[in-house]
Amino acid sequence: MEDGKSPTRFVYCNRDFADHVCWSGCGDRTASMSKFDTTIQAGWTDRMDRGLFRYHLGDLETRILPGPARYVAQLNIQRGIERRQPQEILSIKQNFDTKQFNFNKINPEEVIFEMSKQIEPTSQPKGGGPCKENGHPCDDLCRIMVMVNVSPLEFGHCLLVPEPTQCSPQVLTPAAIQIGIESVLLSSDPGFRVGFNSLGAFASVNHLHLHGYYMKQELNLETASTQPLVPEKGFYRLRDFPIGFMFYAEMDDLEKVVCAISQVTNSLVERNKAHNLFFTRGCPPGKSDVRARRGVRIVVWPRRSCFGAKDESAFNVALCELAGHLPFKNRHDFEHSTEKDVMAIIQRYLLPDQQFLQLEQQLTAHLQKDIKA
């Protein structure tokens, strides 16, 4: 990305978080957009108009599959054809390889802006100090490059890449987790989502990054019922299929939740468990009838590992599919797949029940021990 030009800078602080976000009346993306939304959407649209993507993405044909899960199916044939060949992944702890494609090799015109957080010394967040495990949360020394995904899933699909020149592999750090949560909080659109695929969970590039995109449809995940595991840490279990762990964070407890998520994802890496994360506005646990989306739900799905190069002819189950968003690559599957079909495919990638319950007990004990300490 060395072209002599510096990307546009976007500096934010806690005061920029959108507090009152609600689905009602959210059909118009231009209504009451935050500065974050305006910057991403204008930059993304500009790059689309300039032909920097692998294909033009218009309004995607969308249907809601009949059934209680309300899966959001979208037809995106071009992504399956035109996207870059995914890297061969052989291990969850695979080292960064400078010879492989990485985000330091992209066309610099693909960068929308460089984002950083300005810490306000008089507004220390509640929930303890910075998490020291496996790095530090994002502060005013942390740069996040926000760039278009040239093979977009949806409107505004971008990549959030923390400190790209550090050449970190695709393993979550506290800073990356914090970026995921705070990006959702910076958006006033409840349809802005962020996600992460670990190695072995269909990550395409072994260079630390998260995905962000907009989708008009509401997801069941935002209101799904939960069972408390360690509520003091914001840690719950999702009751609905596909079973996973959920954290809930609002503005005043971010660091506490970031540290707890980091403990869980670090434990998964240590146990060689592949995982996907999804960050979305959602209602607080136990309040599924609330339309307001003041906080963020962060869902962690441990799953079976998939190694070797991606088989693009397969239905890849990654962050979107687990969250209920199904990008189909061909019209036949888009038009004829049922909720039962989709659930059968997803089930093949989930941990067996006994393995999940054993993992839940271990992670719960780990977080409870941290409270007592």
The set of catalytic residues is 209
Residue type, 298: I
Distance from the Cα of residue 270 to its chain's centroid: 21
Residue 303, strand partner residues: 274, 350
CA distance 234 to 249: 7
Phi, psi angle pair for 280, to nearest 5° = -150, 150
> What is the per-residue DSSP string for 123-178?
-PPSS-S---TTS----TT--EEEEE-SS-SSTT-EEEEESGGG---S---HHHHH
Structure tokens at 82: 């035109």
Q: Helix, strand or coil for residue 197?
A: strand
Q: Where are the alpha helices (DSSP H) in 302-349?
A: 319-323, 331-336, 339-347
Rg, C-alpha atoms of the chain: 19
Angle, alpha carbons 252-254-256 (nearest 5°): 105
24: exposed, middle or buried (C-beta count within 10 Å: 0-12, 13-18, 19+)?
A: exposed
Residue type, 82: E
CA distance 310 to 48: 26
In this structure, how many other beta carbons lie within 10 angstroms of the beta carbon of residue 363? 22
Beta-carbon contacts of residue 260 (< 8 Å; ≥ 6 apart)? 230, 233, 234, 235, 247, 367
